Amino acid sequence: MNEAGKHPVWNITFDIAIKNISDEITFIIYDKDVKDSDEVGRRTLIIENIVETDSYVDKFFIIKYDKKNAGEIRLRGT
């Protein structure tokens, strides 16, 4: 179990209603342990910086923990 938790895959989908394109959104990713949950990483994005000209998004963004790369999240939608 030396590599346990090193390459997690969540495959979870969320619907997020955007009311203002200039808003920021922060993603905070946690692992889930029996005793507690620990932060894996986070990323804050400004919506207008990620939306393509045709209003469709399909991009990967690096999440960081303690200023180090901790993985990536994929944002996809219209």
Confidence of residue 3 (pLDDT cuts 50, 70, 90): low
Give the residue among 32, 33, 40, 27 at the shortest CA–CA distance from 71: 40
Residue 52 or 49, more confident: 49
Query: Does residue 4 surpass a pLDDT of 80?
Result: no
d(CA 44, CA 38): 18
Q: pLDDT by residue (tens digit) across 55-65?
A: 778 889 999 99
* Cα Dmax for the chain: 45
| Residue 1: pLDDT over 50 | no
Give the Cα separation of 60 and 69 in Å (integer): 13
